[in-house]
């Protein structure tokens, strides 16, 4: 009985040797060079390295932040040296490394953290500002800094290089194309360099953090996608947590550190079941952000990118799209029929192409479509042709579109009177109602100088300014109250996302005796 146990014990000792390499290493008096130290992981890692007794060299472009961080570290009893560095400039890298060697004689730990990301569809990324800049900072800069420091570590046969990559360097997602490419490059560089220098006493590790609360989003571009990419708080980590794990990695060196732990099975899942991961990412990203407009062009699969309900080759099958549209149109037509609408007031848009299919469901009474004159006839004509093909009774009237939004109400009144719709039910598209909302926003909250409420809230959400968001919400609420007090309206039957073409039908009834000739109605 003892022999098998003894054999098992020595086999486990051989597989998992108990050496000082697996024990925690003291970081006291280690010289640590941290790039990208002005914020995020870099700043928090610098604080924690200093707390462990390291001498921290802070390197980044924003010297004012580095100076403040160095003073904070010194006030806590640590030692820090702030130095300006743009990792995209080779001369600055060489000067910084030489300055550190002159001051301390060595570099024990290199924490390569500098990087940023700009997220969008590939065709929307600017070649210089978005693509080349990410390659220069995230990949080329990291390689050049490592190349400048490595000879001194090899000469001493000691040192530890920690490269901060990303989970995007293991699981590439849509909108992250260039950022993921740079982080995949960091991953490959880290693995190759580790095997290259391992015989010479230099250790190389890679950190692959998931979503975290940093300034990453501020550099992801001013576009509609950025505001929607915000992940739930329970998914994102604090940058201090990532920094603590980085310091732990410096104490106990190992090849790879994926943070948080539950991303490790996801990486394995992506390797073994790529088709399923492709489908999940398509649902999570491509269909979620299909509303982002792109220049119309033909995709390889034949779908029109930027015009299809979903983007390019990821569009649903024609049969599935047709069934979904019929289902939505059926629900919409039931709401329209129950409301006894006599007219639809629309702007020319893709939503009209959905409405042309309603002739199978709605009653045969005439439908009046009101267009505004700010749209060119070339845009209107194809939609009119579709109306003719369906055989749906209709009458087309065009009315001038005033430059002053406050005059839109008068245009609508004249349109109602000229079409003989006094006292009859009219469905109004929300984009038309926003012009009326704007007038009441100006009257109720003059400080809210925005073209309309929805655009203003969208821009504020991108900027993420809590005070401005609160002020705008208050202004919008006041405007809505004023609007409902003068021109009440209700939505019928469905939510905005459920209606074909994202069309919301709002009901108004004209009352000729009142000063503001619109009163609320109750939908059946």
Please identify every residue annotated as catalytic. 179
Task: Answer yes or no: are the C-beta atoms of 460 and 220 closer than 8 Å.
Answer: no
The contacts of residue 151 (CB under 8 Å, 6+ apart) are none
Token pair recorded at residue 192: 């190759």
Distances (CA, A) of 11 to 3, 5, 20, 446: 12, 10, 19, 79
Burial (CB count within 10 angstroms: exposed 0-12, middle 13-18, buried 19+), residue 47: buried
**CA–CA gap between residue 67 and residue 516 (Å, rounded):** 62
CA atoms within 13 A on the CB side of 510: 21
| 3-class SS string, 64-98 | HHHHHHHHHHHHCCCEEEEEECCCCCHHHHHHHHH
**CA–CA gap between residue 10 and residue 389 (Å, rounded):** 84
Task: Answer yes or no: are the C-beta atoms of 137 and 114 closer than 8 Å.
Answer: yes
277: number of Cβ within 10 Å: 18
Burial (CB count within 10 angstroms: exposed 0-12, middle 13-18, buried 19+), residue 3: exposed
Of 233, 255, 242, the C-alpha closest to 166 is 242
Helix (H, G, I), strand (E, B) or coil at 125: coil
- Tokens 């848009």 label which residue? 349
- Which stretches does DSSP call E strand in 375-496? 394-399, 425-428, 490-491
Helix (H, G, I), strand (E, B) or coil at 303: coil
Residue 11 DSSP class:
H
Name beta bridge partners: 81: 57
**CA–CA gap between residue 110 and residue 146 (Å, rounded):** 8
Task: Answer yes or no: are the C-beta atoms of 113 and 34 closer than 8 Å.
Answer: yes
Pairing outcome for strands 343-345 and 297-298: unpaired
CA–chain centroid gap for 172, Å, is: 15
Helix (H, G, I), strand (E, B) or coil at 304: strand
Task: Answer yes or no: are the C-beta atoms of 237 and 44 closer than 8 Å.
Answer: no
Distances (CA, A) of 28 to 79, 97, 154, 269, 519: 12, 21, 21, 40, 77
């Amino acid at each position: 009985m003892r022999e098998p146990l003894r054999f098992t014990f020595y086999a486990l000792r051989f597989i998992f040797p108990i050496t000082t390499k697996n024990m925690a290493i003291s970081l006291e008096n280690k010289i640590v060079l941290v790039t990208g130290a002005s914020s995020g992981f870099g700043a928090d890692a610098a604080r924690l390295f200093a707390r462990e007794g390291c001498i921290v060299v802070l390197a980044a472009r924003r010297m004012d932040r580095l100076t403040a961080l160095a003073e904070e570290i010194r006030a806590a009893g640590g030692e820090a040296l702030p130095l300006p560095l743009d990792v995209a400039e080779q001369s600055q890298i060489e000067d910084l490394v030489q300055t550190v060697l002159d001051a301390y004689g060595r570099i024990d730990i290199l924490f390569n953290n500098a990087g940023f990301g700009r997220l969008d569809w590939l065709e929307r990324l600017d070649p210089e500002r978005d693509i080349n800049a990410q390659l220069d900072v995230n990949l080329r800069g990291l390689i050049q800094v490592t190349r400048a420091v490595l000879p001194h570590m090899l000469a001493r046969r000691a040192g530890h290089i920690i490269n901060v990559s990303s989970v995007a360097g293991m699981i590439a997602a849509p909108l992250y194309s260039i950022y993921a490419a740079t982080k995949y490059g960091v991953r490959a560089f880290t693995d190759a360099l580790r095997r290259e220098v391992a015989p010479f006493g230099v250790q190389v590790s890679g950190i692959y953090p998931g979503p975290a609360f940093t300034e990453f989003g501020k550099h992801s571009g001013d576009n509609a996608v950025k505001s929607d990419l915000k992940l739930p708080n329970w998914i994102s980590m604090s940058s201090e947590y990532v920094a603590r794990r980085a310091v732990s990695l410096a104490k106990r060196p190992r090849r790879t550190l994926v943070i948080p732990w539950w991303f490790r099975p996801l990486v394995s899942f992506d390797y073994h079941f790529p088709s399923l991961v492709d489908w999940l990412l398509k649902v999570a990203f491509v269909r979620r952000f299909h509303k982002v407009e792109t220049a119309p062009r033909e995709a390889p699969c034949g779908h029109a990118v930027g015009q299809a309900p979903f983007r390019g080759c990821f569009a649903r099958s024609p049969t599935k799209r047709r069934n979904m549209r019929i289902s939505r149109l059926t629900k919409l037509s039931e709401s329209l029929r129950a409301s006894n609408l006599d007219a639809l007031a629309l702007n020319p848009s893709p939503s009209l192409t959905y409405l042309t299919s309603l002739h199978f469901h709605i009653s045969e009474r005439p439908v009046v479509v009101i267009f505004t004159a700010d749209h060119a006839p070339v845009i209107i004509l194809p939609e009119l042709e579709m109306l003719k093909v369906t055989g749906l009774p209709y009458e087309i009237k065009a009315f001038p579109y005033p430059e002053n939004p406050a005059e839109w109400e008068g245009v609508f009144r004249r349109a109602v009177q000229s079409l003989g719709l006094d006292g009859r039910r009219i469905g109004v598209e929300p984009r038309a109602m926003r012009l009326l909302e704007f007038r009441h926003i100006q009257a109720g909250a003059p400080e809210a100088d925005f073209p309309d409420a929805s655009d203003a809230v969208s821009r504020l959400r991108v900027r993420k300014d809590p005070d401005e968001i609160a002020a705008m919400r208050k202004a919008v609420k006041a405007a809505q109250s004023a609007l409902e007090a003068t021109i009440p309206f209700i939505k019928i039957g469905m939510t905005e996302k459920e209606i074909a073409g994202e069309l919301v039908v709002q009901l108004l009834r004209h009352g000729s005796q009142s000063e503001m000739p619109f009163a609320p109605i109750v939908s059946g």
